[in-house]
Amino acid sequence: MADKLLLCVCATSATAGRWHGGKLVAVQVFSNDESGWSGFSGFLQGSPGIPVHIMVDVVEEDYRFENLPHSMGRDRKEMVSRKLRQLYRNNPYCRAWLQGRETDKRRDDRYLFAAFTNPDLIAGWLNVIEAQQAPLAGVYLLPMASHNLLKKFGLGNTGSLLLVTQNSAGLRQTFFRDQRLRISRLSQLENIHDESRIAEYAEEIGNTQLYLAAVKVMPLEEPLLVVILDQSETLAGLSRQLVKQQSNILCQHFGRSEIVAKLGLAPELLQVSPDVVYMHMLGEQQPNNIAPAEKTHLFWLYQARRNIYTASAGAALLAVLWCVNNLYQQYDFKTQASETVQQTEWQQAQYLEVTKKFPAAPTTAENLRNAVEIAEKIRQGEHTPELMLSIISRALDASPYVMLKSVSWKYGKEGTEAELARQPLHGVGVNRQTGLIEAEIRPFKGDYRAAMTSINNFAEKLGQEKYVASVNVIQLPLNISPGTSLSGNTADSRELSSSAPFKVALSLRQEP
């Protein structure tokens, strides 16, 4: 829990203390004048940078109950703000609390408007705080801090309750109805003697009861529980006096030892100042702040700094946790990998043990098999021109006038020659044997008809071979196509032409 500086200011004095480790420590009392402010300045210097919470216990306070039409959001904010300006004009130390809703048809919102009406009373203390650049966390009305006291003393279920305490400022009476603060009064009873104190206090409580009846907060005949927190052990007779005066009053008295036990206070602190009861409650839980935002700007910065540092610590912690998780994963993976390596080595050792009985091999078994199978496939795919030459040879034997000039053989995708002789073949574009025969008719004496007959017979002989897929005469001794011009001299033919050249393309079947 963060440290805080708590200051309870009344008209004549102020009690300061430091909230450390969930407890109030180092309580000092200062007079509400320049010497007190100076002493408080020294007190602040001892705790630099710690937020200061100011609680005021003064008669210059105002509490009002008002009903406003039910509204939400921005409308509610504007309406409440307008009402505060109307009630307290330029006083910045005011605030409204929504207390619930009425039960009638309109179901108006019930508000408690409260204000500290004499800001000058704390001006000196604020000046010291500003001079020290200490962050002011807020200004609170003392009765607002008393709500949690009810819980501490187990007084939660009481309908009408008047909490009475004797503080540095005087007799504080705070009235609760159904656990909600309705009104609070401070009576400054100065110069009263101990013997008349009980009577005076009893009279003040009676006056409060009359006031509550007058403002119709509580009927006079309604039972009222008066709870007396007697920090100084001087109000023991007050309960008897009250019960004696009023038949409808119930009293509950808590002495110093009970207060110390219920709140967990150090007993010696109560001897320093009776205000430590409320300061302890303020330290535990801050009520609603009534100070304007400009007064608490340094505290806003203080909180922003703390939040950013907290976010930084959170980010660093998250990164550390994430990093630890990653490193644990890495360690886990490495451990598994190490175990896997051991298992692999064991498997390999087993394998090597087995392979010692294998015949010595120059490479892996897979490579041995692949190499042998590839060699076999290559041999199976081997092609030679032998078949084509034998086919041509047989055709030449049957064609005595055909004289061979050259033969080209090719194995592969069908080339230019084969394209010329393209027939409706199966699997055009696959590897096959193709050939080109260049030959001539000899002797040739100008008889083109006889020459072409010999050429056609030769081509026919080739085509009759069972492995031949196609035969095509691609060049004749004479171009007899009607699409081209033709010229010559029959008289000169015997002397000029001694041969009739031609070309034949052939293609073998894919798998002869």
Partner 1 sequence: MKSSDLRALRAPLAVLLIALLTGGAVVFYSKHLADASSQLLNQQQNQLREARIRYQKSGDEKQIITRYLGDYQRLQKQGFVGTEPRINWLDGLRVANQQAELFGVEYQIGAQQPYALAAEYNPGNLAIQQSLMKLNFRLLHEGDLMRFFNILSTKGVGLFHLNQCKLERLDSNATTVRFQPNLRAECNLTWITLNPADSTRSKQ
Residues 379-438 that bind partner 1 (CB under 8 A): 379, 381-386, 389, 393, 404-412
Contact by Cβ (8 Å): 17, 278: no
Task: List the structure tokens of 161.
Answer: 């309750």
Beta pairing partners, 423? none
Closest to partner 1 by CB, 246 or 433: 433
- Smallest gap from residue 506 Cβ to partner 1 (A): 15
369 binds partner 1 (CB under 8 A): yes
Of positions 77, 334, 422, 494, contacts partner 1 by CB under 8 A? 334
Task: List the structure tokens of 484.
Answer: 């081209």
- CA distances in angstroms from 330 to 327, 333, 334, 339, 342, listed in the order given: 5, 5, 6, 14, 18
Please tell me the distance from the alpha carbon of residue 433 to that of residue 425, in angstroms, as a whole number: 13
- Footprint of partner 1 on 297-316 (CB under 8 A): 301, 304-305, 308-309, 311-313, 315-316
- Smallest gap from residue 378 Cβ to partner 1 (A): 5
User: In degrees rounded to 5, what are phi and psi of residue 198?
Assistant: -60, -45
Choose one: 56-64, 137-145, 287-295, 318-326; the region binding partner 1 (CB under 8 A).
318-326
Choose one: 111-119, 148-156, 351-359, 478-486; the region binding partner 1 (CB under 8 A).
351-359
Please tell me the distance from the alpha carbon of residue 229 to that of residue 252, in angstroms, as a whole number: 9
Closest to partner 1 by CB, 210 or 372: 372
Contact by Cβ (8 Å): 97, 112: yes
Please tell me the distance from the alpha carbon of residue 275 to that of residue 6, in angstroms, as a whole number: 11
- In 3-state terms, what secondary structure has residue 190? coil
Closest to partner 1 by CB, 14 or 136: 136
How many Å is the maximal CA-CA distance in the chain? 175
Of positions 81, 343, 416, 498, contacts partner 1 by CB under 8 A? 343
- Smallest gap from residue 90 Cβ to partner 1 (A): 24
Contact by Cβ (8 Å): 441, 447: no
Three-state DSSP string of 57-78: CCCCEEEEEEEECCCCHHHHHH
- Smallest gap from residue 76 Cβ to partner 1 (A): 26
214 binds partner 1 (CB under 8 A): no
344 binds partner 1 (CB under 8 A): yes
Please tell me the distance from the alpha carbon of residue 226 to that of residue 243, in angstroms, as a whole number: 10
- Smallest gap from residue 399 Cβ to partner 1 (A): 16
- Smallest gap from residue 329 Cβ to partner 1 (A): 4
Closest to partner 1 by CB, 276 or 298: 298
- How many residues touch partner 1 under the rule CB under 8 A: the total is 73
Contact by Cβ (8 Å): 111, 97: yes
- Smallest gap from residue 380 Cβ to partner 1 (A): 11
